[in-house]
């Protein structure tokens, strides 16, 4: 799709309508190395943080301005399982299958185990950083942003407001979208985004098409985040599950994808890194919590 067609669709409102349908579809279906593509907000000494970002439209050649990813991250007798969930790409996941058996057993203890092993949700979008007080060098640049369900709910509410007197805003529209004020508070030891909100709708950078096209062309692929190479096969994942559950011996030759996601605040990294040591996986898991 050309940039002129992108603007034409904005004027027609077709982009917003398409995204609302995708949100409804989602609702109905209800790595250790740093990645310089990924922007992460930071907090001050009191645990508070404030930044202003702008969600960007889908990259050239892609349909959606977000990628949706499920992960599993838990420890059992045989070590850690930290892997992407195959349900992300419509596949059958042995971890989810195991969880279903536990949940349907009728045992409260088994239900607690299933909860601890459940898949966790995150989203990725391209953003333009408007204000980043902790790292002002990021301002005026395009990054990938990983976020959780709470922020996605705010995006959904903007596109499909609850009350008729509220204006419909497509947060991903360069001309009719709105800046997002990301406000972080530490609640019970975790980052909380409840106070975050969208500003009034206004064109990004005053609607300068030359500047906006330049930004749009700098976007990163979202399809790449959930590409085939980011997932183990059902057989590989099941073999790893057997090891973690203590049903099979660990083999040093089997790499373990190192990735973590938190449903509440979207912590983690984009990429996965091969590892052959369960202890390294666990340490990396906790390092992500420290970093975020």
pLDDT for the residue numbered 271:
41
Extract long-range pairs of 187-196: CB within 8 Å, 24+ residues apart: 190/264, 190/265, 191/43, 191/49, 191/265, 191/267, 191/292, 192/265, 193/148, 193/150, 193/151, 193/154, 193/265, 194/150, 196/151, 196/154
CA distance 42 to 48: 8
pLDDT for the residue numbered 27:
54
Q: Name the CATH superfamily, with its identifier, for domain 3-67+121-220.
A: Replication Fork Single-Stranded Dna Binding Protein (3.90.198.10)
pLDDT for the residue numbered 266:
39
pLDDT for the residue numbered 159:
95
pLDDT for the residue numbered 204:
97
Report the predicted TM-score, pTM, of the whole model to 2 decimal places: 0.77
Q: Are 58 and 64 in contact (CB under 8 A)?
A: yes
CA distance 173 to 11: 10
Give the pLDDT means over successive 10-residue stretches in the chain (292 positions). 80 72 56 77 92 97 96 95 96 96 95 96 97 97 96 96 91 97 93 95 97 97 96 97 85 38 41 38 47 44
pLDDT for the residue numbered 84:
97
| 148: phi then psi, degrees, rounded to nearest 5 | -105, -170
pLDDT for the residue numbered 252:
45
pLDDT for the residue numbered 287:
46
pLDDT for the residue numbered 26:
57
pLDDT for the residue numbered 189:
87
pLDDT for the residue numbered 270:
46
Structural domain boundaries in the chain: 3-67+121-220
pLDDT for the residue numbered 272:
39
């Amino acid at each position: 799709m050309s940039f002129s067609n992108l603007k034409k669709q904005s004027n027609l409102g077709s982009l917003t309508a398409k995204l609302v349908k995708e949100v409804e579809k989602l609702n109905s279906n209800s790595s250790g190395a740093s990645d310089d593509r990924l922007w992460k907000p930071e907090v001050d000494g009191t645990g508070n943080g404030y930044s202003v970002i702008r969600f960007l439209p889908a990259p050239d050649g892609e349909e959606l301005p977000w990628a949706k990813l499920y992960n599993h991250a838990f420890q059992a007798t045989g070590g850690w399982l930290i892997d992407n969930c195959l349900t992300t790409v419509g596949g059958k996941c042995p971890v989810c299958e195991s969880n279903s058996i536990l949940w349907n057993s009728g045992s409260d203890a088994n239900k607690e185990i299933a909860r601890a092993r459940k898949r966790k949700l995150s989203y990725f979008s391209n953003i333009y950083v408007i204000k980043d007080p902790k790292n002002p060098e990021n301002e005026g640049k395009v990054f990938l942003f990983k976020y959780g369900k709470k922020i996605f709910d705010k995006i959904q509410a903007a596109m499909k407001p609850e009350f008729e007197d509220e204006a419909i805003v497509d947060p991903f529209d360069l001309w009719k979208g709105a800046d997002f004020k990301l406000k972080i508070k530490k609640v019970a030891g975790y980052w909380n985004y409840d106070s975050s909100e969208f500003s009034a709708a206004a064109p990004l950078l005053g609607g300068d098409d030359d500047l906006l096209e330049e930004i749009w062309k700098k976007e990163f692929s979202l399809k790449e985040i959930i590409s085939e190479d980011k997932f183990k096969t059902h057989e590989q994942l099941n073999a790893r599950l057997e090891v973690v559950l203590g049903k099979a011996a660990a083999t040093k030759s089997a790499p373990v994808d190192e990735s973590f996601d938190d449903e509440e605040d979207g912590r983690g990294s984009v990429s996965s890194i091969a590892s052959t040591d369960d202890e390294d996986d666990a340490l990396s898991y906790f390092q992500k919590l420290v970093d975020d």
